[in-house]
Amino acid sequence: MSATGGGRRPRADTGQGTVEGRWEAPTGGPVAGPPAPPVAVFRGIPYAAPPVGALTFAAPGPPAGWDGVRDAGEFGPTAPKAPYPDTFAALLPDPEIPGEDCLTVNVWTPDPAPGARLPVMVWIHGGAHTRGSSAVPVYEGSAFARDGVVLVSANFRLGVLGYGLFPDAPANRGLLDQIAALEWVRANIGAFGGDPDRVTVFGESAGAISVGALLASPRAAGLLSRAVLQSGAPGVLPRDKVRAVVRRMAALLKVPATAKAFEAAGLPALLAAQAAVLRRSSPLLGGPAFGLVIDPDTLPDDPLEAASTWALPLLAGWTAEEYRLWLAPTGGMRLLDRLGPSAVALARVRSGKDGNAVRALRAALPGAGPADLAGHLITDRLLRDPLRRLAGARREAPSHLYEFRWPSGVPGLGACHALELGFVFDTLRVPESSWLAGPDAPQALADEMHGAWVRFAVTGDPGWAPWDGDGPPKVFGGPEPEAVRETGPLGAAPDAPVTPRVLP
């Protein structure tokens, strides 16, 4: 098939039937210059049966086939979820598409023809295991296809539906959904021009935690060849903590804490109870949460403990001021600054650091107030330290580390969590990217970062030396570490209020 298909819509044959997508102009890249050729986009392709009725809390079932040609022009339904609170909804786009058939994948490809054997990237979205979807506009995958990579994104079950622990249902159902999506890729991506033997799985936040679990799960063996973890370290929650969340929901619903009873309660009641229980949850400060657990069938070992056996190239990193996304919009930065030394002391205890670590941090960031110091300590504990341990534990394949330092144009956010996503996907010109990045985000930085991710998918080398167990990571969008020690922390002043987009 030619680059434009002779005016016809692109088609591909899957194991369930033929799908018809669309030719679309790719996003991103320099404003000047000739337009890039169109790419083929297929949306909303089922990789598993709709998780309803008896399948609501079951392992994913096989998708049904169809006769004729299935239209793949629109995103499929998003997984059931509660919306973000208004404070975060103004920063993090999270569309909701109604419907039951939510276990779907989307494919962007420059060449939807069998035999092209192009590298493949599979995106696992974030959202604290309770929100997000593949339909978020910032995750538009055409820039990857423009640059010769087949991009796949997937929806999977979230919250109690994907991660609640019950005596009568399998654990880690969201992870099982992701594995089913990768199995679909293995079986079908060749029809879209992809190479099933060159699959890079990448994810951010909870998506990165999921990538770590996929690397450790025996069920996912052979389904991926490279991995990227953005702002999320491999790990699991204690089973008792997840059970406690389910029991609290059961008390609100006035039903037994079983999958059968939760299914009978109905989806609106489940989501309302989940939102009530998780209201005080914070990725930074803890609280009730859903997430992955050790399970003999799906995740027999702690992923971080199993990391030494991962014999594949790895790219991992973080943003310089992860904590600002959770603290600045809620006034948490100003509160911690008012607490002063008490905030730093509490963060030191929570992070497991000693006094020497605090003194070293003060020396490295001489202009930082208590909120920034506390935020850095907790970020070390949650992200930087475990990702460095992950890289250091691996000896059979290279690990590349990075730090993203460009500060958002939204006052108060600095180089916050999730800010790098519009740069990685090269979607800065998508209107929703400005919600978090603000106006006038630098396209040159997107060119650099997106290009590194493409190189990693193609060659296993993003363009800088593997981490050797010491020294700084590769820096995107800011001065090198020596300059940081001289000038203080990057980003807005700690007491700057966040002024996000106003919701319509």
Contacts 24+ apart (CB under 8 A), 238-242: 238/293, 239/165, 239/293, 239/294, 241/288, 241/289, 242/163, 242/164, 242/165, 242/289, 242/290, 242/291, 242/293
Q: What is the distance between the alpha carbons of residues 422 and 446, in angstroms, rounded to a whole number?
A: 7
The CA distance from 276 to 504, in Å, is 25
Return the SS3 of 153: strand
Q: Assess whether 322 carries a catalytic annotation.
A: yes
What order do you get walking across the sheet with 39-46 strand by strand? 22-24, 39-46, 104-109, 150-154, 118-124, 194-204, 226-230, 314-319, 399-404, 474-476
Picking from 153, 154, 176, 152, the residue whose alpha carbon sits closest to that of residue 55 is 176
Among residues 153, 205, 217, 231, the one annotated as catalytic is: 205
Q: Which of 140, 204, 321, 322 is catalytic?
A: 322
List 417, 420, 434, 450, catalytic entry: 417
Let me know if 417 is a catalytic residue: yes
Residue 170 and residue 142 in contact, taking contact as beta carbons nearer than 8 Å? no
Question: How many degrees, rounded to 5, is the angle at CA 416 between CA 370 and CA 421?
Answer: 170
Tokens standing for residue 386: 């475990």
Which segments of 160-295 are extended strands (E)?
A: 194-204, 226-230
At 467, the amino acid letter reads W
Residues 6+ apart with CB under 8 A from 309: none
Strands 118-124 and 194-204: parallel
Dihedrals φ, ψ of 264, to 5°?
-70, -25
d(CA 228, CA 219): 19
Residue environment code for 436-472, b if the CB has 16+ CB neighbours within 10 A, otherwise e: bbbeebebebbbebbebbbebbbebebeeebbeeeee
- Residue owning tokens 């298909």: 5
**CA dihedral for 78, 138, 121, 30, sign (positive or negative):** positive
Inter-CA distances, 345 with 339, 355, 360, 365, Å: 10, 9, 14, 17
Give me the active site residues, please.
205, 322, 417
